[in-house]
Chain A
Amino acid sequence: MSTQRPRLPLTAHGLACGLGLSSTESLAALERGERGLREVPFEVPFATVTGTLPGGEPPPVPAHLAVYDSRLARLAHLAWVDMQAAGERAIARWGAERVALIVGTSTGGIGETEAAHEAWWPTQEPAAVPASYSYPTQHSFHAFLDFLAELTGIAGPRYVVSTACSSSNKVFASARRLIELGIVDAAVVGGVDGLCHTTVRGFHGLGVMAPEPCRPFGVDRPGMNVGEAAALVLVEREGEPLAWLRGVGETSDAYHPSSPDPEGRGALRAMQGALAEAGVAPGEVDHVNAHGTGTQYNDIAESKAIAALLGTEVPVVSTKAYTGHTLGACGGVEAIFAIHCLRRGWIPAALGAHPTDPDIPLRLPAEPEERTLRYVLSNSFAFGGNNCSVLFEAAR
């Protein structure tokens, strides 16, 4: 449906990704044009780099919540600490039961089960499973939300949206519905995914993993890099906005389980849906944070959709060249980048996009650009042909 919807303020965010362990660190590294791509933090039987958190293992969760300890919970903890003051203010203002937790993830905490499985495999005896391993509190999808609920006291509805790589764009729509309908007054949304064998080996098996840093939209691009991140954004009924949430478009390709519609029709309708909800014309969009995985198929299909809707002059950047593809967290990460661009009046360089694939008809800034921005569109597309596009507006 394309009825115009009221805007909601995005009032705070918390971030940990390959670029840094906080929003401040990550956004400064983005501005410096750094890549947060490093060695894979475990052994795999092929060459690649991943958007691994800097500084080694993230610190354990607080001791009283050790039953939840997992890479996912550790990432989520870092992101919460980064926005803790604003989060606690929102809980105090609205009441703990009036704040929802709606967060995306693609694999949950499967990394913990991978380790338990490796220990169990040689003997396949129950006693070989490490005593510290707990499937429901470490692996299952909602385990890190139970952790966040206990950590923060947030007591409103909490659930995971898990539509693979579009998960943490779709959470903005879920939260907005609950706020509009008066079910809650605020929501912590975003996405969390940790590096694990399942995704790194899985994308290699699909034949889309780059052995080197990815080059979205670049000629002869080698594929994608997997990354990890926790990105949380606070959406409130009212508040001092860093930026506004204006529109969300959610569509299905109905084409293929793991390849996009080559014409990008589902992506196009998702972007159209986001603009229609905001009553914003295509010509008003100042910048697109593309899904831009760096795979052959995604980048061609997405560029067709962007060019068809917005033309070929709007600056398009895939920040996955900086962070890797953080899967269920990428919508959240890129929302925070979009908010930063709107606040700063700045667009990062399209790292790796030059020389550009001649079949990509987009303007991909070779250098960062300083300019006033009002609307930024952020795309996330996923397995199953699941598309979600979110429109953000500058606060001023």
Chain B
Amino acid sequence: MTRPVYVKGRALWAPGYANVHAWLRGEPDAAVTAPAAAVVGGRLKRATSPMARTSIEVITLAAADAGFDPATCATVFGSYHGEIEIAFHQLEMMRDGEGVISPARFKNSVHNTAAGLFTIGAGNHGFTTAIAGGPHTFALSLLEAWALVASGEEDQVVFSTTEEPLPSFIGRWSDHGLLGVALALGASPDGALARIDPPTNATGPVPAPEVSAPFAGHVAAPGLAMIQALEDGWRGPLGLTPPGGGPAALGVEVPHDGWQTALEAP
């Protein structure tokens, strides 16, 4: 049996944008330079990346927006590139001195670093996962989160897509900046922003609100488009492929046109 799934909350964080409202107003604030990620204590936050702190921030904000308890909601942390900055720090450690990697870096180098720190900080003993779906990471994170609710396995799921800049010599494949987006999905229509369909393969162009610079083409851009669509009361099909050549810029062949979902009245 497939249960209906509802969008219950949304969040974003990027330098200049501390929350959804600042972005929707189009008013960046130069004072916003680092996410608080306050759910995780200071000691645990040491040696974490902007990627991990941003993921934790948007998951926490979206849970709060939905009225979910961070100690009990399930979480899906999506990212195409993961902890890529720490990966390169470790490569530098190999070239220096004894060639050994510091444990503080290594434990924070896994793709599920943010997932682990969030569950520790929030005291959450339940489900969490971390996934990577290349340029389609947002759509596939939505798929994993949607399936958790639709299957009846979880009543409240928050999913995110976060990327930090590509470091060092791999920067030539993409010049995207730091951005995290999260959506909260639930089984209850109470207070929902929309009912959401499972993501499916798009066989042609599917409309979506335009995402402007500097986030056009970002892997998380379909999340921004969804936040704008929710704000606009969008109904019907919604495209989920990063516009502006996100995948193309990375030189990746995409075997189909992309992904789509649909938003309907709750």
The interface of chain A, by Cβ under 8 A from chain B, is 1, 3, 44-46, 97, 106, 108, 110, 113-114, 116-118, 120-121, 126, 129, 134-137, 139-143, 145-146, 149-150, 155, 157-164, 170, 174, 177-178, 180-183, 197-198, 201-207, 250-258, 266, 269, 382-386
Partner of A161, one of B122, B130, B154: B130
Task: A136 to B250: give the CA distance in the assembly, Å.
Answer: 6
Does B87 have its Cβ within 8 Å of any Cβ on chain A? yes
A181 touches B113 (CB 8 A): no
Does B143 have its Cβ within 8 Å of any Cβ on chain A? yes
Task: A183 to B5: give the CA distance in the assembly, Å.
Answer: 15
Does B55 have its Cβ within 8 Å of any Cβ on chain A? no
Task: A39 to B160: give the CA distance in the assembly, Å.
Answer: 40
Shortest beta-carbon distance, B74 to chain A, in Å?
Answer: 9
Which among A44, A157, A258 has the greatest number of chain B C-beta atoms within 10 A?
A157
B91 nearest in chain A by CB position: A117
| Stretch of B9-17, B24-32, B103-111, B229-237 with 4 or more beta carbons under 8 angstroms from chain A | B103-111
Task: A120 to B92: give the CA distance in the assembly, Å.
Answer: 11
A182 touches B2 (CB 8 A): yes
**A-B pairs under 8 A by CB, number:** 210
**A-B pairs with beta carbons under 8 Å apart, 13 shown:** A113-B87, A134-B251, A159-B144, A174-B147, A178-B147, A180-B151, A183-B198, A202-B90, A250-B129, A257-B120, A266-B125, A383-B116, A384-B115
B115 touches A163 (CB 8 A): yes
Does B181 have its Cβ within 8 Å of any Cβ on chain A? no
A158 touches B133 (CB 8 A): yes
Does B102 have its Cβ within 8 Å of any Cβ on chain A? yes
Task: A198 to B88: give the CA distance in the assembly, Å.
Answer: 10
Which among A177, A251, A252 has the greatest number of chain B C-beta atoms within 10 A?
A252
A1 nearest in chain B by CB position: B153
Given A160-B131, A254-B124, A114 and B91 contact (CB-CB distance below 8 Å): yes
Given A106-B110, A254-B122, A386 and B115 contact (CB-CB distance below 8 Å): yes
Given A182-B2, A201-B94, A266-B125, A162 and B132 contact (CB-CB distance below 8 Å): yes
A159 touches B252 (CB 8 A): no
Given A135-B170, A205-B102, A385-B120, A155 and B255 contact (CB-CB distance below 8 Å): yes
Shortest beta-carbon distance, A379 to chain B, in Å?
Answer: 17
Contacts of A106 in B (CB 8 A): 110-111
Contacts of B90 in A (CB 8 A): 198, 201-202
Contacts of B144 in A (CB 8 A): 159, 174
Contacts of A170 in B (CB 8 A): 129
A136 touches B115 (CB 8 A): no
A254 touches B87 (CB 8 A): no
Contacts of A118 in B (CB 8 A): 95
Contacts of B95 in A (CB 8 A): 117-118, 121
Contacts of A149 in B (CB 8 A): 255
A254 touches B152 (CB 8 A): no
Contacts of A252 in B (CB 8 A): 116, 119, 124-128
A162 touches B147 (CB 8 A): no
The interface of chain B, by Cβ under 8 A from chain A, is 2, 44, 80-82, 87-88, 90-91, 94-95, 98-103, 106-113, 115-117, 119-120, 122-134, 136-137, 140, 143-144, 147-148, 150-154, 166, 168-170, 172-173, 198, 201, 250-253, 255-256
The 7 closest A-B pairs by CB, nearest first: A384-B116, A162-B111, A141-B132, A202-B106, A159-B133, A258-B107, A142-B134
Contacts of B128 in A (CB 8 A): 163, 252, 384, 386
A257 touches B108 (CB 8 A): yes
Task: A150 to B98: give the CA distance in the assembly, Å.
Answer: 41
Given A163-B130, A382-B112, A254 and B123 contact (CB-CB distance below 8 Å): yes
Shortest beta-carbon distance, A388 to chain B, in Å?
Answer: 9
Contacts of B136 in A (CB 8 A): 159
A159 touches B132 (CB 8 A): yes
B169 touches A162 (CB 8 A): no
Task: A150 to B152: give the CA distance in the assembly, Å.
Answer: 34
Task: A197 to B87: give the CA distance in the assembly, Å.
Answer: 11
Task: A254 to B81: give the CA distance in the assembly, Å.
Answer: 25
Contacts of B122 in A (CB 8 A): 254
Partner of B147, one of A158, A181, A254: A181
Task: A258 to B94: give the CA distance in the assembly, Å.
Answer: 21
Partner of B133, one of A3, A150, A160: A160
Contacts of B94 in A (CB 8 A): 114, 197, 201
Which among A113, A126, A202, A206 has the greatest number of chain B C-beta atoms within 10 A?
A202
